[in-house]
Structures are given as C-alpha cells and as structure tokens.
Amino acid sequence: MTRTGKRDAWTLLTSHGHVLVEIARNPQARIRELSAAAGITERATAAIIADLEAAGYVTRNKVGRRNHYGVNLDLPFRHAAQRDLRVGPFLELLAEQPEERPDAEPTESAPDV
C-alpha cells in the first residue's frame, strides 16, 4: 500500500540544514542556486542565511557583486540532544559530492532524505 499526502512530504533535515549543507558544498553559490538545491523559495533562503549568519554558522563576504560564504565548522548543533557535537563532521559528510559509479544504473528519482 502506497502512502501519499502530507505525512510523506517530510525530510530528515530542516530547511536551515539544507541551506547550510548547500553553502558548505558551494560557498560561492547564488541565493537562486541555494534555494533550488534546498527546494525552497529565494526569499526563504535569504532569511535562513540571515539566521545562520546571526547564529555564527555562516559568514558572508561581498566580492564584487557576489557573496562568498564561509562556514564555521567548530560550532555545536543547536538542539540539546546534539549540543556536544560539532557541525563540521556532519557538513563534511553531507556536503561531499557523490561519486558517479560507472556500473550504476540511472534511477528515476532519489528519495528525499
């Protein structure tokens, strides 16, 4: 039996987590690119970047007309259950570009995690 609806729409990471991973993956990305990768609007992405910047997770430097982001890998997670863990190893794992396997068959769509 296939489940459909709102209960199937959740993801393991919050939008803040998705944006932070995408910034770690591509520190020179534009908001348009970050929002597309995170699956949220550009306006929501800009607000999340402001949140991440205010909390010290992200720094933003203007280079010409572009923003270049930095990520503070030494900060702990914000949730009490993970406050003794640093975000660095998590981001290094998730921001890693997946390698293409030559023997892998193409899939229709990857599951949303």
| The pLDDT value given to residue 8 | 72
Residue 88 resides in a domain: yes
Residue 36 resides in a domain: yes
Name 8's Cβ contacts closer than 8 Å, sequence gap at least 6: none
| The pLDDT value given to residue 99 | 65
Residue 42 resides in a domain: yes
Here the CATH number for the domain that contains residue 71 is 1.10.10.10
- Rounded mean pLDDT, 57-61: 97
| The pLDDT value given to residue 111 | 46
Are 84 and 76 contacting, i.e. CB atoms less than 8 angstroms apart? yes
Residue 59 resides in a domain: yes
DSSP sequence for 18-74: HHHHHHHH-TT--HHHHHHHHTS-HHHHHHHHHHHHHTTSEEEEEETTEEEEEE-TT
Number of domains in the chain: 1
Residue 54 resides in a domain: yes
Residue 3 resides in a domain: no
Host domain of residue 56: 13-95
Residue 55 resides in a domain: yes
10-42 pLDDT, tens digit per residue, is: 888 999 999 999 999 999 999 999 999 999 999
| The pLDDT value given to residue 106 | 52
Residue 6 resides in a domain: no
